[in-house]
Amino acid sequence: RGFFGKLKTTFYVVSLAGVASYAYFVWAGRNPPQQEPQDPSKKTIVVLGSGWAATSLLKSIDTSEYNVVVISPHNYFLFTPLLPSVTVGTLDGRSIVQPTRHTTRFKAREVKVYEAEAEYVDPVNKTVTFSDKSEIQGASRKVTIPYDYLVYTVGTENQTFGIEGVKKHACFLKELNDAEKIRARLIDCVETAALKDQPEEEIDRLLHMVVVGGGPTGIEYAAELRDFVESDLIRWYPEVADKLRVTLIEALPNILPMFSQTLIKYTESTFKENSIDILTKHMVKDVDDTHVLVKTPSGEDKKIPYGLLVWAAGNTARPLTRQLMAALPEAQKNRRGLEVDDHMRLKGAENSIFALGDATATQFAPTAQAASQQGAYLGRVFNQLARLDVLETKLEAAKRDGASESEIRGIERQVEKAAKVRPFKYSHQGSLAYIGSEKAIADIPLLGENSIASGGVVTFMFWRSAYVSMLFSLRNRSLVATDWLKVSLFGRDVSRE
């Protein structure tokens, strides 16, 4: 056999091995092993939340030495970086969520997962009270449980600056159902605009999509929306689609303040090409069911009509977080969020509460990147504390049983080493954002102070592969890749539930 014959054989062997390992991982992912039951003699860790920080912690912690309890109103982890794609049907919402039990069922010891909302944390008596807020209620509604350690990762809620109309009339983009609601309202606006005898003025209003906030959430949503209009709406709604306008309103002089000036300019010019209007230095002051009231750079008030309003104006602390701060008034004084030390221990409750992710006020930006690194760090800390417990017990036994001086000294050295817990260290991997028309921007740090700023189609390929590799499971990676393939073959679905 010649060179090409050998190449063909190698190709078959590699493909077969690839298919066999994929099949094995699919099988393994559906067949969780037996777990040890919870053990009352072990310490209890209660984790509040099932987002980035919590899931990353659950991945890295060794549960053999702890009883872990997870409490979250959502029984899944949501991969937020791809959430804007759900608003226009590029991805199906289910493709970017991972049921929390898909993570916990693979741990050595059973992890309890409760779909419930924490309502009260008592840092003095070390208890959490939570209740089931779902539609179906049983006899057990409100429960209080004790903890040895509490991991507080409940994230934030949307900042509305007390503007009443926002909650009433705008859509947010934080949870899965927010994205699904945006998609349904968008198609509703288009269908209503296309209705027989709809007056021109009303068509203009209904087809004006307004986004408030020029941070990455607002930018990525506007980008996805424009893609949807250009690739799909134009084909199926030719009578109205070209009247659809997208306007992004930002109070500051610049959009995307966390990116370099070059990438800001690149985004602005891409938006201009895609006919997305950016109104910087415009502050939204009020919202009613058909208009937003903005203060223009010259200080005048202007009413802007809208059909769909997406509010992406940043985050604020949840009421539960404020309640926890109020319980520790001496140590918690930062209105932005919970104050922690460099080991992610909550100030005022250092021995029992750790707080991670967006709920905290640290020098790190409130990103998935920081939250997941903190979760993985804390998992390692718990593993180290468990080793410390074992060594301390061993030391006590050695002393009690009259072990030799050198043997005791040896164990003492191991105890000292295990007791040294390193502080959390953040490693910035860069910032990425999708800006539409198969273009993305990336600020990637290199050695020292340098960074690469890149934008364009190649960056878009990088953006897609980076996020697919970051998805936590083979199941999610397969579903997302299939959704992208479906959309490239058949386009996005324009039907409405």
Chosen residue from 98, 270, 367, 476 binding ligand FAD by CB under 6 A: 367
Q: State the minimum distance, in angstroms, from the CB of residue 159 to ligand NAI.
A: 7
Give kind and range of the element (H or E) at residue 8: helix 3-30
Q: State the minimum distance, in angstroms, from the CB of residue 4 to ligand FAD.
A: 44
Helix ranges restricted to H, 61-172 = 100-104, 164-169
Partner interacting with residue 145 (select from ligand NAI, ligand FAD, none; CB below 5-8 Å by kind): none
Q: Does 158 bind ligand FAD (CB under 6 A)?
A: no
Q: Does 232 bind ligand FAD (CB under 6 A)?
A: no
DSSP string computed for 143-166: EEEE-SEEEE---EEE--TT-HHH
Q: State the minimum distance, in angstroms, from the CB of residue 470 to ligand FAD.
A: 9
The nearer residue to ligand NAI, 72 or 217, going by C-beta atoms, is: 217
Q: State the minimum distance, in angstroms, from the CB of residue 338 to ligand FAD.
A: 11
Chosen residue from 45, 207, 304, 313 binding ligand NAI by CB under 6 A: 313
DSSP string computed for 263-330: HHHHHHHHHHHTTEEEETT-EEEEE-SSEEEEE-TTS-EEEEE-SEEEE---EEE-HHHHHHHHHSTT
The nearer residue to ligand NAI, 178 or 232, going by C-beta atoms, is: 178
Q: State the minimum distance, in angstroms, from the CB of residue 430 to ligand NAI.
A: 9
Give kind and range of the element (H or E) at residue 111: strand 111-115
The nearer residue to ligand FAD, 54 or 386, going by C-beta atoms, is: 54
Q: Does 369 bind ligand FAD (CB under 6 A)?
A: yes
Tokens representing 494? Answer: 């324009």
Pattern 356-395, binding to ligand NAI, x per CB under 6 A? ---------xxx----------------------------
Q: State the minimum distance, in angstroms, from the CB of residue 53 to ligand FAD.
A: 3
Partner interacting with residue 48 (select from ligand FAD, ligand NAI, none; CB below 5-8 Å by kind): ligand FAD
Q: Which of 257, 236, 273 is nearest to 436 (CA)?
A: 273
Which parts of 250-269 interact with ligand NAI (CB under 6 A)?
250-252, 258
User: Inter-axis angle of helices 457-470 and 474-490, to 10 degrees?
Assistant: 140
Give kind and range of the element (H or E) at residue 398: helix 368-400
**Count of residues in contact with ligand NAI, rule CB under 6 A:** 27
Question: Distance (Å, rounded) from C-alpha 387 to C-alpha 383?
Answer: 6
- With tokens 């039951």, the residue in question is 37
The nearer residue to ligand FAD, 66 or 311, going by C-beta atoms, is: 311
Which parts of 186-245 interact with ligand NAI (CB under 6 A)?
212-218, 220
The nearer residue to ligand NAI, 203 or 223, going by C-beta atoms, is: 223
Residue pair 176/83 in contact (Cβ under 8 Å)? The answer is: yes
Q: Does 80 bind ligand FAD (CB under 6 A)?
A: yes
Helix ranges restricted to H, 141-260 = 164-169, 176-193, 200-206, 216-228, 234-236
Q: Does 48 bind ligand FAD (CB under 6 A)?
A: yes
Q: Does 85 bind ligand NAI (CB under 6 A)?
A: no
Question: Distance (Å, rounded) from C-alpha 457 to C-alpha 51?
Answer: 30
Partner interacting with residue 71 (select from ligand NAI, ligand FAD, none; CB below 5-8 Å by kind): ligand FAD
Tally Cβ neighbours within 10 Å of residue 134: 12
Provide the sign of the torsion angle of the four alpha carbons 137, 140, 146, 149, taken in this order. Answer: negative
- In angstroms, what CA-CA distances link 209 with 189, 247, 289, 303, 309? 9, 6, 13, 14, 6
* Site residues, ligand FAD (CB under 6 A): 48-54, 71-74, 80-81, 83-84, 117-118, 153-155, 173-174, 217, 318, 320, 357-359, 366-369, 371
Q: List residues near ligand NAI by CB under 6 A.
A: 81, 161, 212-218, 220, 249-252, 258, 283-284, 312-315, 365-367, 431-433
